[in-house]
Structure 1
Amino acid sequence: MAEGEMADTEQTAQPGPLTVVSTTTDGIRVVTVAGEIDHHTGQALGQALDVSGTPRPRIVVDLSQVTFLDSSGINLFIAAHHAVAEADGWIRLAAPTEAVMRTLRIVGVDAVIDCRESLRQALGN
């Protein structure tokens, strides 16, 4: 496996129209999400973003395959941001689709959580 490739799949869940896969790359938890993030599907994402007991967590959420994001998804990201900040870590959102980025901007999440144009940029320093 080449350097920087994803390895160590930790969790896979598919509750309805949302798929959440959590892997680790160079010590960074990469949460790849596909589908719609809403009240009915958000529990799997919330579990993947849980940093309980993790020292200095680093998380990148790949949103390139997310087609819809509502307020419950926004709340999950804000809660994760607070949790990782308290644990002296960070969270980044990677490659949001145009529709998702519009939602993030409207509510100001992009001013609170670092949003990067690509997964590669989010994994970099």
Structure 2
Amino acid sequence: MRAPGRRRGSRARRPDDHHRSQQRLSVITVSGEIYHHTGGPLREALSPPDGEAVPQIVVDLSGVTFMDSSGINILIAAYTAARDAGGWLRLAGPT
């Protein structure tokens, strides 16, 4: 029997789930074409300054119409940097 108000399959949250002062969620929305000559702003947006909180990044790609290997490399580098800092990077809306 499940507790009142809980949906089937939902996970009970610990009190500290929403109070992690060393973590920060960023949602970055990207649109248009991402390739060698246009990837700079994306690279900058995905590179938090030194000393920032542990990165938790969601990259919304639903508005991207084209991405070449340069854009994919930017995402891989950002994923690796976030993981190495103890955080994560997730992609939303890839097509």
TM-score, L = length of structure 2:
0.71
Runs (5+) with no aligned partner, structure 2: 1-23
Which whole-Å deviations, capped at 9, do the CAs of 1:47-84 have from their partners, x for residues lacking one? 00002322310000000000001000011011001110
Name the aligned partner's letter for residue 69 of structure 2.
S
The count of aligned residue pairs is 71
Query: Which residue number in structure 2 is paired with residue 88 of structure 1?
Result: 86
Name the aligned partner's letter for residue 47 of structure 2.
D
2: CA distance between counterparts of 1:86 and 1:31?
20
Query: Which residue number in structure 2 is paired with residue 30 of structure 1?
Result: 27
* The structure with more radius of gyration: 2
Q: Secondary structure, in 3 states, of the residue corresponding to 2:54?
A: coil
CA contact (8 A) 1:57 1:89 kept: yes
Query: Which residue number in structure 1 is paired with residue 54 of structure 2?
Result: 56
Query: Which residue number in structure 1 is paired with residue 40 of structure 2?
Result: 43
Runs (5+) with no aligned partner, structure 1: 1-26, 98-125
TM-score, L = length of structure 1:
0.54
Query: Which residue number in structure 2 is paired with residue 76 of structure 1?
Result: 74
1: CA distance between counterparts of 2:64 and 2:53?
28
Q: Secondary structure, in 3 states, of the residue corresponding to 1:51?
A: coil
Aligned Cα root-mean-square deviation (Å): 1.0
Which whole-Å deviations, capped at 9, do the CAs of 1:9-39 have from their partners, x for residues lacking one? xxxxxxxxxxxxxxxxxx4111100100000
Identity of paired residues, percent?
58
